[in-house]
Amino acid sequence: MLNEKKIVLVTGASRGIGQAIARRFAKEGYAVVMHYHTGRLQAEQTAAELQAQGACVLLQQADIRDSQQVQTMIETVQRQWGNIDILVNNAGIGQQKLFTDITDTEWRNMFAVHVDGTFYCSRAVLPAMISRKAGCIINISSMWGQIGGSCEVHYSAAKGAIQGMTKALAKEVGPSGIRVNCVAPGVIRTEMNRLLDEETWAALKEETPLECVGNAADIANMVYFLATEEASFITGQVIGVNGGIVI
């Protein structure tokens, strides 16, 4: 039963950081909407696990590059559960490629997933948040959006755009009681980084002042904190969770 549970929508929740965020909010008693695009099996398995633990979980499939699919998803959640209290724009893709080899399609797709998706989802939930004068949006960026990554120019540019969007939107909707923040993960062991060999992981650890890499739970913990009343005076910020590799 939903009762008075707050509702959180996590995009890209079928694996990695998104899955960890969904788990954390479910553990804290939130009603969790898990969005996925193609990872249906993983999303269903995670949802079933959380439901078995007593959590309220609703699965929603959508291609966030498509504004109409996003709008339909938000309207479905509102019809079935009610208004979304917290939006976590996490869905993303990665690619390593020389800048001169990036195709038009790859460039546009990188921005469509990260920037357009964040825009469409935020735009869809904001009218109800503004009406209620309450709500929280948390965007997931990357340290590469702060410092740039070689052979990841399109990824870095898209993640940097999310940081700019966060700061500007926070100023616009702050008077309506809505907070907008951004988490910029450092080196995190996730499925997206599965192709990195152990030699690369060792080098990354050495570059990080804490001499270790992070895990998805580290990001989930920060996202959860930003959604709580304990972070009620924090908005428009890009917060690095990176072991000190970017300061």
DSSP per position, 139-180: EE--THHHH--TT-HHHHHHHHHHHHHHHHHHHHHGGGTEEE
CATH number at 233 reads 3.40.50.720
Q: What is the pTM of this model?
A: 0.96
160-209: pLDDT as tens digits: 999 999 999 999 999 999 999 999 999 998 876 766 778 888 888 999 99
Does 19 reside within a domain? yes
Q: Is residue 2 assigned to a domain?
A: no
- Residue 146 burial (CB count, 10 A): 18
Residue pair 183/141 in contact by the 8 Å Cβ criterion? yes
At a CB cut-off of 8 Å and minimum separation 6, what does 134 contact? 85, 177, 178
- Give me the sign of the Cα torsion angle 213, 206, 203, 94: positive
Q: Tell me how far the alpha carbon of residue 161 is from its chain's centroid.
A: 14
From CA 34, how far away is CA 14, in angstroms rounded?
Answer: 7
pLDDT digits (tens, 9 = 90+) for 11-27: 999 999 999 999 999 99
User: Number of structural domains, the chain?
Assistant: 1
Range of the domain at 87: 7-241
**Residues with a known catalytic role:** 155
